[in-house]
Amino acid sequence: MLRLLLVRHARTTWNAEGRVQGGGALDELGRAQAVALAERLRGEALDDIYASNTLRARQTAKAVARLHDMKVRERHLLRDLDYGRLAGAFLADFQREKPGLIEQWRDHPETVHFEDGECLADLRGRISRFIAELFAQHPTGTVLAATHDSPVRVVASLALGLDDSEHNRKDLVTANASLNVFEIEGGEITLRVHNDVDHLQGISDGH
């Protein structure tokens, strides 16, 4: 059995600014969150550490890797959903300029294909491929992977038997620097821990 510790990246400048994701580096709060996450995982016997090849995910993974004297393996398959031309836009502008798309994404996310970007079926395909490749390489042990909110939701959906129409369920949302634990054996994925942020208690941005 493979134990997968799937973490969402810590907070970024873009999170704080209210932008559609697609970039950004960890801000001061995010760096503190990453350190707290690393301390939480200090005692884990990790066999490997992976990260999306985005800066925010790599920064989060490296905080853990430093305590384990390990390298971070980058995987493009772990990238967030590609929002195409909307990546980096301020959410307020997005809501004003694309109100129909906002409603469609909220109510029927499985029907949305972002211009010059992806749809949820594309993301599910990528994440499923990553899990299959990961299990082939690590059929046992414990592996950490730093990724993004939507990919974590996809893995949780795979574990719970949910389709992409359920992507925006509130109970699937994950916080920055949250810990999510899955067990993988054969083609079966089991969700053991979801959106655990106990290690972030006492950390505040002062706002």
In a domain, 205, yes or no: no
Q: Which amino acid, one-letter code, is at 150? A: S
Question: CB count, 10 Å around CB of 135?
Answer: 19
Q: Which amino acid, one-letter code, is at 179? A: L
Domain range enclosing 192: 2-200
In a domain, 66, yes or no: yes
Task: Assign residue 184 the CATH number of its domain.
Answer: 3.40.50.1240
What pLDDT score does 204 carry?
67
In a domain, 207, yes or no: no
Domain count, the chain: 1
What pLDDT score does 206 carry?
41
pLDDT tens-digit profile of 153-193? Answer: 999 999 999 999 999 999 999 999 999 999 999 889 999 99
In a domain, 158, yes or no: yes
In a domain, 41, yes or no: yes
What pLDDT score does 16 carry?
77
List per-block mean pLDDT (blocks of 10 residues) for the chain, which spans 207 residues: 98 80 87 98 98 97 98 98 82 77 92 94 98 97 98 98 98 97 95 98 67
In a domain, 167, yes or no: yes
What pLDDT score does 99 carry?
79
In a domain, 148, yes or no: yes
pTM: 0.94
In a domain, 111, yes or no: yes
| Joined tokens for residue 138 | 């690590």
Residues 15 and 149: their CA atoms lie apart, in Å, by 12
Residues facing residue 8 across a β-bridge: 147
| Joined tokens for residue 49 | 């550490």
